[in-house]
Structure 1
Amino acid sequence: MISSTARGAAGALFLILLASRAEARDDNQLWTGATATVKVSDKFRISQEVVARFSDNRNGLYEVEAVTMLGYKPTKNVTIAAGYVHNPLYSSGDFTAMEHRAREQVQVDNFAQVGSGQLSARLRLEQRWREHADGTAWRARPYIKYAIPLTKDGKTNLNLSNETFINLKNTAFQAADGVDRMRNLISISTPLSGKLGIEAGYLNQYGFVKHGDDTMDHVATVTLSLNL
């Protein structure tokens, strides 16, 4: 049975999404992902993630992210990581542009308990380049997650998270200053086996458009994770 804390947190997120609903142009999307993390020592991890994104308004596949990261854990709950993002873009399934990114991040897991749940946070910094386009675009992506256990063993969780994209240094393909978009996710994560897990849910991506209509993407998400 879902606790009152979980119901209250999920209800608050729903009200936030509902409040912004009327002012945005909508799109229905599907994001599928898979991540494999290999423990190479007590302190170091290597991870490989692949995400494919599909859109009704863009007539199918519009983006693939392949992310390779090296992580270092100075403590049990802190991970410092850096890596590379290979990011081809598509329209109606046809290739349109290639983006490359450098990514650095610091993640702190379970740094505070609120009710029955745990708070985690991450600060991600990215430098973006596009082929045949000048300049380097910089952005920050602060992220916070509230995980509420749904089972006594604590392995199945209701997750509520927010990630905000803040543009820092712009180019022709990243033209707007400040807050660019916001992702709010409600999901359930659970293990499928000792090393394999799944997370599925609904993500609302709200895009802030200067001098135009804002955008809102309604996204069904499913991600498999493998830890070796």
Structure 2
Amino acid sequence: MRRSPALLCSLALLTLPVVAHAADDEQLWTTANVTVKLGEKWRLSQEVVARFSDTRNGLYEIESNTLLGYRISKKVTIWAGYTHDPLYNSGDFTVMEHRARQQVTFDNLIKIGPGTLSARLRLEQRWREGIDGTAWRLRPYVKFVLPFQEGKKTALVLSHESFIDINDTSFQTVHGEERMRNLIAITTPLSKSINAEIGYLNQHGFRPGRPDTSDNVASFSLNFTL
């Protein structure tokens, strides 16, 4: 219990926007995710994310993620799948990106006071149509969920994700940590099978030799479990 406030403060600080020497953008991200139980061990997940940007004049990405998961234990699940990711500018299509995705999730890994810590390690291989090269990227992620009341599911969510570029291509040019996402949100159940999350996300992009970027994102998601 004595460690909980320190961890909570540390995670909260991570969610603050990094604005010094950064070019700002105001964005909106909307997400819908459906997870279907295919049996005792198997899971199928379908997620669609639509992203809108002020500086890019509207829609700039529709990310569709399809994953098949296998539960190794109550807390550990391995996943593999495909991401279909068309990119846009001012609502006009620019380029198609394809990704292979593999990940392992650790659900409710550690209990810290009244909250729980979860984690995920994701590996991606990225291709863009008409552009040579395969871009490899690692995405470690950690999330802390703190219920407002004991035994209730409405909770504060704090998360951090880093994007670490393993190699360089013509469209992946930052070797090492290329960006990080820090989120503070409220999650609450709407029904037995539907959960909503709304919050603020800061996406900070590292650009060696150029000003960093800082995207201020209003984030809204609906999660369905069937």
Letter in 2 for 1:199: E
- Which stretches in structure 2 are left out of the alignment for 5+ residues? none
RMSD across aligned C-alpha pairs, in angstroms? 1.9
The answer to whether the Cα contact below 8 Å between 2:87 and 2:93 also exists between their aligned partners in 1 is yes
Shift of 1:119: 0.7
What SS does the aligned partner of 1:204 have? strand
The answer to whether the Cα contact below 8 Å between 2:87 and 2:96 also exists between their aligned partners in 1 is yes
Task: Identify which of 77, 87, 99 aligns with 1:79.
Answer: 77
Q: Deviations over 1:82-108 (max 9, x none)?
A: 000000000000000000000000000
What SS does the aligned partner of 2:169 have? coil
Structure-2 residue corresponding to 1:224: 222
Whole-Å Cα distance in 2 between the matches of residues 207 and 159 of structure 1? 22
- Which stretches in structure 1 are left out of the alignment for 5+ residues? none
The answer to whether the Cα contact below 8 Å between 1:5 and 1:116 also exists between their aligned partners in 2 is no
2:158 matches 1:197: no
Structure-1 residue corresponding to 2:57: 59
The answer to whether the Cα contact below 8 Å between 2:27 and 2:218 also exists between their aligned partners in 1 is yes
Structure-1 residue corresponding to 2:143: 145
Shift of 1:152: 2.8
What SS does the aligned partner of 1:84 have? strand
Shift of 1:117: 1.0
In the TM superposition, 1:100-179 aligns within 5 A as 100-179=98-177
Q: Deviations over 1:13-63 (max 9, x none)?
A: 554455832221100000001001110100000011000000001000000
Q: Give the 3 Å change call, closer, same or farther, for CA 61–147 of structure 1 in structure 2.
A: same
Letter in 1 for 2:76: V
Whole-Å Cα distance in 2 between the matches of residues 41 and 160 of structure 1? 31
Structure-2 residue corresponding to 1:49: 47
The answer to whether the Cα contact below 8 Å between 2:15 and 2:159 also exists between their aligned partners in 1 is no
Whole-Å Cα distance in 2 between the matches of residues 227 and 122 of structure 1? 19
Q: Give the 3 Å change call, closer, same or farther, for CA 168–7 of structure 1 in structure 2.
A: same
Task: Identify which of 186, 210, 213 aligns with 2:211.
Answer: 213
TM-score (ref. length: structure 2): 0.94
Aligned residues: 226
Q: Which moved more, 1:126-135 or 1:142-151?
A: 142-151
